[in-house]
Structure 1
Amino acid sequence: MNEGQKTGLFCVIGAVMLAVGLFVSWPASEREEVSVRAGKELFENFKDPLTAASLKIVSFDEEQGQVDTFEVRRDRETGMWTIPSRKGYPADAVEQMKDAANALVGLQILDVQTRNAEDHEALGVVEPKLEVLEVGDVGVGRLVTFRDESQKDLASLVIGNPVKDEEGRFYVRKPGQDPVYVVELDEPALSTKFQDWIEDDLLQLSSIDIEAMRIEDYAASMSSRGFSVDRNYTAVVTADGTDWRLEKLLEYPSDSPLADPVEVDVDPTQIVNKEKLNDIKNALDDLKIVDVVRKPEGMSANLRADKDLVSDNEAVQSLVDRGFLPVQARPDAPVEVLSANGELDVTLNDGVEYVLRFGNVSGLSEEDESEDSDEEDGTSTGVNRYLLVTARVDEDQFPAPELKPVPQTIEELAAMLGVEAEKTTEPAEEPAAEEAATEAEMKDGDAEPAEESEAAEESSEESESDKAEMKEESASEETEAVEETTDEPSSETAEEGSTEEPTAEENSSETAESSENAEPESGDAADSSVSEVEVEGSGEATGAGQGDEDDADSEEDSDEIAFADLSDEEKQERLEAEQEKILKENTRMLDARKDRLNAAKRRVSDLNARFADWYYVIPETTYRELRIDRDELLTAAEGDDSGSGAGASLPGGGSPMQIPGLNSPQ
């Protein structure tokens, strides 16, 4: 083979190798694009939105020349959604992620707009790559990428301009490919707004649960000489439905803001501004955040700063820049964090207390940057403000229950039951013995005891006349019951030789006498008749206004008689039963308090776990809704008539005064 043949062979081999190299190095997406036509799905392998474990959206800021990245990701171990682009802030992303993934699942090509790369800028589908972009570059789209648990791409798309006059349609292309397609896309589901991906109801409270608020109006600032505090006032108000009651109003000496405050005597012609306080309550219910920033390491959940934090200049500067000042009032006092614009403490009816501290302005929010300025005060409506939030338990909501004393001796039990000491020791056998002897003599046929009984009854009529008259004035049912119960003794007396039938008045006297002298356990007929009278006459024979008192008296008498008749052994059993009953009741009250307190502590712990690591950012408009100036707190009472109207006790050490319209009378 001569030199010319060799040269030709090498050229052929080189051409073949070049063709193979070009084929191998040609992007796979370019080779695949030939098969993509109108009516086809852009991502045929992306069928299940639940397989998406992360979403990353990259966009380009033309004015700043910067690439912004928003990412949401599910943790493989915990299953929790977080936002890595916001330092791992928890995301409420289950439904939002599903909707976002569904925007690309089954996405169909409606038309192929162009296959020419030169058209990308005009259609807004330039890929946002920072290394090839500069300030002022235009036509850059948003790159949306979904990945699964193993971080394998499920779908990736550059979203460009909307199609003119065709709502819901956009120009899109796959990264690395030239063709630009027209698709119908649910673009709002692919939002990069932070608040669209979180639980934006920060406090998660209901306005109807707010029981009290403590307003601390002060301003703290840092200077070269240290920090300064300008205190205005402190007020404590409690809610009563839609009304409010002023519990305390304190003001501070203007020349010494760190001095003890002085309680203010409020003019009786003024009432608390319930409209403004209700606005604050509603704003708390609807408190939204627009952004978060992670707090310095070492700052605890209760907003106290430890020594390590104070010695960390970077952490202290982070706090000061946002309007929160770690200060120490006294050498032996703990280091606390004051806020630049005061604070608001909110107590709920379950004993949970929120502490909101307002810092410096943080800048404009994304959604409000384009809004016009407020013409009245010259401030931008898009300004935001830093906020620190913590929770604590209001111990005043859980007072110790008033426990019932447990009797330790029979005498203590008797005193608790209201039983006189002599009744607990008086023997009860003699009346029973006398009655037994009388019955025995009557059974032997001797009529003399019966005659003596009648004489005794006649002699006692005058002494018991008042009681008999009272019983005759009662309802007819009681009189009939008394007469029926005395028929049998009258018959026995007639058989014994008596020819005179007892009158109703005599029966009443007999009943009254036997009810006083006989013991409950004797079982005689007089006791039985009294019981029948009490049962049959209750509710009907009781005089107007005396029914409840008679019942109460009879219960007390019954307790005294019953306890007095008990033997020593039975009294001891009664003591032990009462001790067990009282101990159970006391335990129930203690357990109820403990359960409520533990529930509040668990709630506080959960809240602080969520609040602990973050500065929150709220709109300036929300901040204004949560603040109330001193001259707004009280307003003139409408139709005030000095000295009249319901009110609340005013703060101060003097006698209570009434503020018209402030309180409902107790």
Structure 2
Amino acid sequence: MNETQKTGIFWGVAAVVALIAAIVSWPSSDSDDGGNIGSVVGTPLFTEFKDPLTAASLKIVTFNEGQGELKNFEVRKDPESGLWTIPSKGGYPADAIEQMRDAANALVGLDVLDVPTDNPEDHAGMGVVEPKLEDLDPGDEGVGRLVTFKDSSQKVIASLIVGNEVKGQEGQVYVRKPGQDPVYVVKLDDSPLSTDFEEWIEEDLLQLSSIDIENVELKDYNASLGLQGVTLTKNYDVELAKDGSTWTLAALKEYDQSNPLAEPTLVEIDPDKELNSQKLNDLANALDDLKFVDVNRKPEGISANLKADKDFAADQEAATQLAGRGFIPVPLGPNREIEILSANGELTATTKEGVKYILRFGNISGIADDGKEGDESQAGDEAEAAGGVNRYLMVSTVVDESKFPVPELKPIPQTLEELDAIDRPAPPADVEMPQELNTPEVPETAEPEMKEGDGEAATDQASGEEATDGEKEGAKSEEPAAEEPATEEPAEKDGEAESSEPAEPADSGDGESADDAEPTSGQTDASGEGESTTVGEAQEEVEEAEESDEQSSEASPEEDGEDDASEAAESETAQPAETPDPAASEVEETEEEKLERLAAVQEKITKENERMLEDRKEKLQQARLTSQALNERFADWYYVIPEATYSKLRISREELFESPAAAAPDPAAMPPGLQNMQFPGLPGN
């Protein structure tokens, strides 16, 4: 081998070695920094992640230093339905559209501000150690939070380990890409990258307003499962009605403690006893604002109405899990169907839309951990962080059809007679009839015979004047002997009265009255007969009086009163005969016109009835759709609510009513210096 060949071989080997060294020293990064970590400053950390809507899943992995465990929180969009769910919570529906957009935007356009190190030994101090369980031990520090976004094909589009904040630089944090050594400084708002369950769900569990609640029913009982079977203690049931902020008691029933399965006894409540409005309003507001902090999936075989199918009865493991959370399956149905009995009673709330919410309260969350659900310990941590324990809750809904009574339909006339009955309905019973129609009919035989002068005497009585005997005698001298025909006014008319003195028959010879008083010319006695005035003279006086009434407007008060009363009586008697009947002037309908009007009335009433029925149908259908949608959301889950919320929803028998007001102190029993002092808030002050 000559020197030239040796030299060529040498340079060839050197080139291979240099290539291998270059490959080995090439940074393990998917960033296009050309090996110079300083060249990435001012450039986006993820050049291909530009649209937050391409993110179809988010996974956040954290490390619990004390327990040495990793915790996964994941939100994913179903490719078929397009719905967001939380796989780490059993696939619970997530209200994640806006939250996911904000989380993805946190990494879109994230620029590198600095590259402080690429030494792996600095990772722990900056909090960017990758959370990989195989590389970690309990107590390890400096482990960061791994955030990974994937698209709909599950391809990683952005992945980042979020570490500590940079000291003295507000909003700046250390970050690192998994599998790479360089540490970057970025300005990052990581609040949307939350693993708090409440941040990713619709917190308003019931989605009702307190002003829509019309009825509340509380069933106060306790149930537990022991070696001897189910132990049941029933305290009371109460039904309450709510109108605005006003509560009324519909029924209160108490149970026999020695026999809880016996029918309850209705309790009579003192009318003066007032409901505890503050407690009841707190209950309604707690329903309005009912939030939950965690969920667990229920066992298979429990339907939306919390009834169990036949297969569930044979699933001992599922029944044990259910009972451990405070929901005991027992054969309560009429055909021994298995239903759920709650450990701590029930509450129902019915809205004006007719949807009845049924809440069943179970045990405290965490006391029945069967170790098979990975999120139970997390629920305990959340409860501890919230400053109190939590409680299991089951929710279902039904439609209260009593809120949709069948409307009272108007009768549709089928014949002309029925149409006439509608046109001329009977007067209401409380309407007063005209006086002449209310006056009882007097038999004709009871009417006394009218003579000349009787009509005027009757008119005087109708005017309501009360006169002394002397005034009556003076009035007799001014009255004409014959004023009105005897048949002008019947005896039964209002205003006619009998003479205060009984009429005496006239003397057969001299015509003197019984009191032997000598009447003046034109005077009549109680019977209407004159003593010294002839019939002709009386007639002349009548004519003169009529002439005087017509020609002179100045009449004495006595004469005006007598004439007005007489004319009013005549007018009342003659009015029915003189007033024309409006109905008589109407044109009589033909048979064909009546039938046409009957058809029009039938069509009108039919449409009104159909409209009322359709309105009821629409409201009932809407209530059923609302109940169905709610049950689809409630059906598969136990909910975990704060114990503070549960305490507002559970009211004891003693808390139902206001406590008796404190009695005012007896002034006599006070020291002399305190007897005149006022005590604000006490009765009498």
1:315-346 deviation per Cα after TM superposition (whole angstroms, max 9, x unaligned)? 21221121111111367232111111111101
Cα deviation, residue 197, structure 1: 0.6
SS at 1:228 equivalent: strand
SS at 1:304 equivalent: coil
**Residue 123 (structure 2) aligned to one of 120, 124, 146:** 120
**Residue 600 (structure 2) aligned to one of 567, 577, 580:** 577
- Number of the residue aligned with 2:625: 602
1:34 to 2:49 alignment? no
Query: Aligned equivalents of 1:608 and 1:206: distance in 2?
Result: 18
**Residue 268 (structure 2) aligned to one of 238, 241, 265:** 265
Cα deviation, residue 398, structure 1: 0.9
Query: Aligned equivalents of 2:201 and 2:104: distance in 1?
Result: 17
- Number of the residue aligned with 2:300: 297
**Residue 228 (structure 1) aligned to one of 226, 231, 234:** 231
Q: Is the 8 A contact 1:270 1:636 kept in 2?
A: no
Question: One-letter code of the match for 1:396?
Answer: S
**Residue 241 (structure 2) aligned to one of 216, 238, 242:** 238
Q: How does 1:288-327 map to 2 (within 5 A)?
A: 288-327=291-330
1:180-235 deviation per Cα after TM superposition (whole angstroms, max 9, x unaligned)? 12222102111110110111111111111011110111111111222121111111
- Call closer, same or farther: CA 1:522–1:391 in 2, change over 3 Å: closer
1:632 to 2:655 alignment? yes
- Call closer, same or farther: CA 1:247–1:517 in 2, change over 3 Å: closer
**Residue 612 (structure 1) aligned to one of 626, 635, 645:** 635
Question: One-letter code of the match for 1:520?
Answer: A
Q: Is the 8 A contact 2:333 2:339 kept in 1?
A: no
1:11-61 deviation per Cα after TM superposition (whole angstroms, max 9, x unaligned)? 977765565455456524488352544333222332222222221111111
Query: Aligned equivalents of 1:274 and 1:603: distance in 2?
Result: 29
Query: Aligned equivalents of 2:572 and 2:333: distance in 1?
Result: 84
- Call closer, same or farther: CA 1:419–1:101 in 2, change over 3 Å: closer
**Residue 406 (structure 1) aligned to one of 398, 404, 412:** 412
Question: One-letter code of the match for 2:237?
Answer: T
Q: Is the 8 A contact 2:489 2:573 kept in 1?
A: no
Point out where structure 2 has 5 or more consecutive residues left out of the alignment.
Answer: 367-378, 427-484, 495-549, 551-566, 665-685
**Residue 384 (structure 2) aligned to one of 357, 369, 394:** 369
**Residue 383 (structure 1) aligned to one of 385, 389, 397:** 389
TM-score for the superposition, normalised by structure 2 = 0.69
- Call closer, same or farther: CA 1:329–1:119 in 2, change over 3 Å: same
**Residue 158 (structure 1) aligned to one of 158, 161, 169:** 161
Count of residues in Structure 1 that have an aligned counterpart in Structure 2? 522
Cα deviation, residue 273, structure 1: 0.7
Whose helix fraction is larger, Structure 1's or Structure 2's?
1
Query: Aligned equivalents of 1:77 and 1:511: distance in 2?
Result: 88
- Number of the residue aligned with 2:512: none
- Call closer, same or farther: CA 1:106–1:418 in 2, change over 3 Å: same
Question: One-letter code of the match for 1:316?
Answer: A
Query: Aligned equivalents of 1:292 and 1:61: distance in 2?
Result: 21
- Number of the residue aligned with 1:513: 577
- Call closer, same or farther: CA 1:264–1:12 in 2, change over 3 Å: farther
- Call closer, same or farther: CA 1:22–1:386 in 2, change over 3 Å: farther
1:135 to 2:146 alignment? no
- Call closer, same or farther: CA 1:263–1:165 in 2, change over 3 Å: farther
Ranked by relative contact order (alpha carbons within 8 Å, sequence separation 6 or more), the top structure is 1
SS at 2:42 equivalent: coil
SS at 1:257 equivalent: coil
1:281-311 deviation per Cα after TM superposition (whole angstroms, max 9, x unaligned)? 1111111111111112221111111111121
- Call closer, same or farther: CA 1:24–1:589 in 2, change over 3 Å: same
Query: Aligned equivalents of 1:522 and 1:180: distance in 2?
Result: 104
- Call closer, same or farther: CA 1:297–1:23 in 2, change over 3 Å: farther
1:458-513 deviation per Cα after TM superposition (whole angstroms, max 9, x unaligned)? 999868x999xxxxxxxxxxxxxxxxxxxxxxxxxxxxxxxx9xxx9999998853
**Residue 342 (structure 1) aligned to one of 345, 350, 362:** 345
Q: Is the 8 A contact 1:269 1:637 kept in 2?
A: no
1:149 to 2:213 alignment? no
Query: Aligned equivalents of 2:159 and 2:256: distance in 1?
Result: 64
Query: Aligned equivalents of 1:181 and 1:584: distance in 2?
Result: 75
- Number of the residue aligned with 2:539: none
Query: Aligned equivalents of 1:634 and 1:382: distance in 2?
Result: 28
TM-score for the superposition, normalised by structure 1 = 0.71
- Of structures 1 and 2, the larger Rg is shown by 2
1:159-198 deviation per Cα after TM superposition (whole angstroms, max 9, x unaligned)? 1112234332211111111121222210211111011011
- Number of the residue aligned with 1:394: 400
Q: Is the 8 A contact 1:269 1:636 kept in 2?
A: no
Cα deviation, residue 358, structure 1: 0.9
- Call closer, same or farther: CA 1:362–1:149 in 2, change over 3 Å: same
Question: One-letter code of the match for 2:147?
Answer: V
Cα deviation, residue 625, structure 1: 1.5
Query: Aligned equivalents of 1:517 and 1:158: distance in 2?
Result: 101
SS at 1:636 equivalent: coil
Query: Aligned equivalents of 1:231 and 1:307: distance in 2?
Result: 28
- Number of the residue aligned with 1:497: none
Query: Aligned equivalents of 1:268 and 1:110: distance in 2?
Result: 75
Q: Is the 8 A contact 1:231 1:252 kept in 2?
A: yes
- Call closer, same or farther: CA 1:572–1:148 in 2, change over 3 Å: same
Cα deviation, residue 626, structure 1: 1.2
Q: Is the 8 A contact 1:58 1:142 kept in 2?
A: yes
**Residue 217 (structure 2) aligned to one of 203, 214, 235:** 214
Cα deviation, residue 142, structure 1: 0.4
Question: One-letter code of the match for 1:323?
Answer: G
Query: Aligned equivalents of 2:189 and 2:656: distance in 1?
Result: 48
- Call closer, same or farther: CA 1:411–1:135 in 2, change over 3 Å: same
Point out where structure 1 has 5 or more consecutive residues left out of the alignment.
Answer: 372-380, 421-457, 468-499, 524-564, 642-666
- Call closer, same or farther: CA 1:6–1:615 in 2, change over 3 Å: farther
- Call closer, same or farther: CA 1:405–1:170 in 2, change over 3 Å: same
Cα deviation, residue 132, structure 1: 1.5
Query: Aligned equivalents of 1:341 and 1:237: distance in 2?
Result: 20
Cα deviation, residue 6, structure 1: 11
Query: Aligned equivalents of 1:270 and 1:44: distance in 2?
Result: 73
Query: Aligned equivalents of 1:612 and 1:161: distance in 2?
Result: 42
Cα deviation, residue 109, structure 1: 2.2
Query: Aligned equivalents of 1:74 and 1:459: distance in 2?
Result: 106
Query: Aligned equivalents of 1:571 and 1:51: distance in 2?
Result: 74
Q: Is the 8 A contact 1:290 1:365 kept in 2?
A: no
- Call closer, same or farther: CA 1:415–1:198 in 2, change over 3 Å: same
Query: Aligned equivalents of 1:18 and 1:233: distance in 2?
Result: 89
- Number of the residue aligned with 2:440: none
Q: Is the 8 A contact 1:269 1:640 kept in 2?
A: no
Which range moved further: 630-639 or 611-620? 630-639
1:201 to 2:207 alignment? no
Identity of aligned residues (%): 54
- Number of the residue aligned with 2:52: 49
